[in-house]
Structure 1
Amino acid sequence: MLNRTSRSVTLTAAGEALQSALAQPFDEIGSALDVLNRFRDVPMGRVRLSVPTEAAEFLVGPVMATFLERYPEVEIEFSVNNRMIDVIENGYDAGIRYGGTVPQDMVAQRLSADIPWLVVGAPSYLDRMGTPVNPGDLQSHRCVKIRIGDESIYRWEFERGDEKIEINVPGGMTVDQGQIGLVAVRDGAGLMYVAEPMVRKDLRDGTLRTVLEQWAPLGPGFHIYYSSRRQVPAALRLFIDLVRELRPLGL
């Protein structure tokens, strides 16, 4: 490998070939480290999130213009659906859910304040069918039923002081996406149980009215969750920090 004299040491042809072969992997390692340093100086990368429809519209959507402006090298992919899926098994870096439904083996961080749940109806429906005074009155109303992420039909939950009630409501329409049901409810199809952000504008302009206000419960807000066995990608950390900074649904 080496030619030695009393005054110098030089590579043989075989030694030069070995040096060339060994240099390439080390050069690639150096290039990889340069890329890593770019992550520190200029945030970049790609993350995939599974997000329910309400979170997509009222939590994620309002922050994305700012996020993309601040971090143009970061790419975020959202899959919007209400199904209960294993985010890790399905290739997502994280998921967003209401606090009470986050899997127990995940690390979770709160992204919003707790959320009021309301029963709403159009003035035309309430004028025609009357206004329920207590949850039991719902049995004589048309209600839009909700199929939740585990494929069961949601039992509407009510609280007043220490009293808690769950109602299996009647109705001829079932949805697994709230905005579809609200289109029908605005036209007088019946009553619907919704998260307050979904109908904030409707209540403000009078398109919808609330009923059973004294029974309205306060539910856990949105949380983002990810595996405790994985390092949190830098791009995901930036997204979490921005949502918590801008607080589109309070915090």
Structure 2
Amino acid sequence: MLFGRSDLADFSYFLVTAKHRSFRRAALELGISASALSHAIKGLESRLGVRLLNRTNRSVTLTAAGEQLQSAISSPFEEIGQAVEDLNRFRDGPSGRIRLNVPTDAATLLLAPVLPAFVDRYPDIEVDVAVSNQMIDVIDGGFDAGIRYGGTVPEDMITQRLSADLRWVVAGSPTYLDRFGEPEHPDDLHQHRCLRFRLGDERMYRWEFERGGEEILITAPGNLVLDESGFILSLMVGGAGLMYAPQAVVAPLVAQGKARLVLEDWMTPGPGFHIYYSSRRHVPVGLRLLIELIREMRPLGL
């Protein structure tokens, strides 16, 4: 059986769909609509004369034929992708596309200062950034890499440090502190309104403090539970409660007089941002260049 260019494209579509087990997620990675992707796969199945995917309203699974095809063609397509990536060294300038999954703070503090310089330096590289605090499998999600705080990076990944350790602080608005007073010891937080942060794995973040060898871990009290730092910042400025965050997050508001730090002698260092990617996946040239530029510009120190 001879295959045309459309067949090869549909085979690549099939592999992405098989990886995600979802037309929606696969379409997002491919940059096409889910309906167009489904139509392409149906056309491939028709030409091959076998069903490759079982479809329901909630899931997509591989048939036995689909599993066999995925196993047979995955390596050749990976080799083709690698060969195309290797051609970058023959171009006048590098090109390609990289996809990143990053938390809000990393997007604001780490990428925002660097990406304007990156697109100026490498105009033919497309950078697709998904900002989310959810702890997802970046490989299953179709991302080339993820950025997380050092202590939350999956152990089976290759990691590179992108920032110095971060100093964690407690901040409140002048309005709130004038009304409720300043805590003098971490235990005083139990009598305060705190803006609680829900981690990407649904756990509540506990506030860590250290002074003179004494370490204290506080389950912060409060009626507001949030998972996005920009929203927490807005509520803190509005006087809704105290927040716990890297100092760099609240520093601009402190400089503007919209926030004050408390418990400063208890401030605690924590792991900085790290980028991580699978040891099974070749690092795209664009990703390598972005890592190099972040480490060159050092927006959070290094």
Q: Does 1:149 align with 2:237?
A: no
Give secondary structure in 1 for the equivalent of 2:283.
coil
Q: Which residue is equivalent to 2:87? A: 36
Q: Which runs of 4+ in 1 moved over 2 A?
A: 32-35, 37-41
Q: Which residue is equivalent to 2:236? A: 185
Q: Which residue is equivalent to 2:215? A: 164
Q: Does 1:199 align with 2:250?
A: yes
Q: Does 1:137 align with 2:188?
A: yes
Q: Does 1:176 align with 2:210?
A: no
Q: 1 or 2 for the larger relative contact order (CA 8 Å, sep ≥6)?
A: 1
Q: Which residue is equivalent to 1:233? A: 284
For residues 61-104 of structure 1, give each alpha carbon's deviation from its aligned partner in whole angstroms, at most 9, with x where no partner exists.
Answer: 11111111111110110000001111011110000000111111
Q: Does 1:91 align with 2:142?
A: yes
Question: 1:210-229 alignment to 2 at 5 Å?
Answer: 210-229=261-280
Corresponding letter in the other structure for 1:70: R
Q: Which residue is equivalent to 1:6? A: none
Task: State the Cα RMSD in Å.
Answer: 1.7
Corresponding letter in the other structure for 1:216: M
For residues 142-191 of structure 1, give each alpha carbon's deviation from its aligned partner in whole angstroms, at most 9, with x where no partner exists.
Answer: 11001011101111111112211111111111110011011111011111
Q: Which residue is equivalent to 2:159? A: 108
Provide the rounded CA distance (Å) in 2 between the counterparts of 1:39 and 1:95.
Answer: 28
What percentage of residue pairs aligned between the two structures are identical? 57
The partner residue of 1:77 within 128, 132, 142 is 128
How many residue pairs get aligned? The number is 221
Corresponding letter in the other structure for 1:55: A
Provide the rounded CA distance (Å) in 2 between the counterparts of 1:120 and 1:37.
Answer: 47
CA, structure 1 residues 221+34, in 2 after alignment: closer, same or farther (shift >3 Å)? closer
Q: Which residue is equivalent to 2:299? A: 248
Provide the rounded CA distance (Å) in 2 between the counterparts of 1:33 and 1:133.
Answer: 60
Corresponding letter in the other structure for 1:156: W
Give secondary structure in 2 for the equivalent of 1:248.
coil
The partner residue of 1:45 within 90, 96, 99 is 96
Provide the rounded CA distance (Å) in 1 between the counterparts of 2:272 and 2:193.
Answer: 28
CA, structure 1 residues 161+88, in 2 after alignment: closer, same or farther (shift >3 Å)? same
How far did 1:42 drift?
Answer: 1.6
Unmatched 5+ residue regions in structure 1?
A: 1-28
Corresponding letter in the other structure for 1:107: I
Provide the rounded CA distance (Å) in 2 between the counterparts of 1:170 and 1:159.
Answer: 19
TM-score of the superposed pair, with normalisation by structure 2 = 0.70
Q: Does 1:54 align with 2:109?
A: no
For residues 6-53 of structure 1, give each alpha carbon's deviation from its aligned partner in whole angstroms, at most 9, with x where no partner exists.
Answer: xxxxxxxxxxxxxxxxxxxxxxx9xx8798156554201111000000
CA, structure 1 residues 146+35, in 2 after alignment: closer, same or farther (shift >3 Å)? closer
Higher Rg: 1
Give secondary structure in 2 for the equivalent of 1:185.
helix
Q: Which residue is equivalent to 1:23? A: none
CA, structure 1 residues 204+42, in 2 after alignment: closer, same or farther (shift >3 Å)? same
Provide the rounded CA distance (Å) in 1 between the counterparts of 2:293 and 2:147.
Answer: 15
